[in-house]
Amino acid sequence: MARKVLVLGEVRDGSLRNVSFEAIAAAKTVAEGGEVVGVLIGDAVSALGTELYQYGADKVIAVEDEKLKNYTPDGYSQALLAVLDSEKPEGLILGHTAMGKDLAPKIAAKLGSGLISDAIAVEAAGGNLVFTRPIYSGKAFEKKFITDGLIFATIRPNNIAPLEKNEAASGTVAAVTVEIKDLRTIVKEVVRKASEGVDLSEAKVVIAGGRGVKSADGFEPLKELAKVLGGAVGASRGACDADYCDYSLQIGQTGKVVTPDLYIACGISGAIQHLAGMSNSKVIVAINKDPEANIFKVADYGIVGDLFEVVPLLTEEFKKLKI
């Protein structure tokens, strides 16, 4: 059954986040040959429409207003609800990002619809669209399908491959005017707290440090390795609690959930709450002095050793490969 499916293009610092392209790929499956519509919300965002076309959108809509320059749940939900009202899609896909996690339940509640959150795969099987999502902190997976109403899901970054980019694709961006009113939240300034460089939630490579790094300076070799591999630095809560790094780097049950291609855990014991945020990474490498450390149970490759010796050696070797 062909469907019209909307995808929210998530903009950060003037660029589309990768998860927007992954959402288009998921939407293509949901659309089953129907139309995928990219939606851009922001201040001056319509120029980003071309990239949505290049990743497979059939149509792009932009709601632009200076009140939408920064994300607010009120502003974005007004804009998205207005687009949903005019487009009347059968499906809606958002990224399972900080924004998606905040916005999706609000939209679902307003529409009285269901929501499949944090999906890592979607397939058309046996006449149903089946979404897969991790449960019990990633220890099991459940299959979900929606039998009626809006097919509404958020997808976890880095799990659904985007379609191949077609540089030649382009199209017009339809401007939709929405009167944004009664904002209860106004963002006056955005102060960036997280580390510069690659966004941790979307990074293909994550180098994470735990209490074993022993100090804020102990993160330096990890930053160096992350730089060489084009990755991001993350941390266990142990490292954050010890004030070695900012909480924005925390990975785990009460931190960020990451699924990079490569996760290198340095001086992290592998507590269950940490594993909840990284155990679905594609390849896990653990470096720990303790051969009995729990992290080795989920690791594909384990190095028993002192991280202050092992990490610089890895950095030197990767430098030689000129990645």
Among 141, 289, 300, 317, binds ligand FAD (CB under 6 A): 289
CB burial class (10 A; 0-12, 13-18, 19+) of residue 244?
buried
Phi, psi of 64 (to 5 degrees): -115, 135
**Per CB under 6 A, 247 contacts ligand FAD:** no
User: Is 117 annotated as a binding-site member?
Assistant: no
Among 221, 252, 260, 302, binds ligand FAD (CB under 6 A): 252
Among 106, 308, 312, 319, binds ligand FAD (CB under 6 A): 308
**Per CB under 6 A, 239 contacts ligand FAD:** yes
Cβ 70 to ligand FAD shortest distance, Å = 27
Which string of b and e fits 103-112 if b means at least 16 CB within 10 Å? bbeebbeebe
- Compose the 33-72 pattern: x for residues touching ligand FAD by CB under 6 A, - for all others: ----------------------------------------
**Per CB under 6 A, 254 contacts ligand FAD:** yes
**Per CB under 6 A, 277 contacts ligand FAD:** yes
| Beta strands across the sheet bearing 121-125 | 121-125, 128-135, 140-144
Cβ 240 to ligand FAD shortest distance, Å = 8
**Per CB under 6 A, 306 contacts ligand FAD:** yes
User: Is 192 annotated as a binding-site member?
Assistant: no
List helix spans (H) across the chain: 18-31, 49-54, 73-87, 98-111, 220-229, 237-241, 272-275, 307-321
Among 42, 212, 260, 302, binds ligand FAD (CB under 6 A): 212
Beta strands per DSSP E along the chain? 4-9, 11-12, 15-16, 35-42, 59-64, 91-95, 116-119, 121-125, 128-135, 140-144, 151-155, 173-175, 205-209, 232-235, 262-266, 283-288, 301-304
User: Is 12 annotated as a binding-site member?
Assistant: no
Query: Which residues make up the interface to ligand FAD (CB under 6 A)?
Result: 210-212, 236-239, 250-255, 267-269, 271, 273-274, 277, 287-290, 293, 306-308
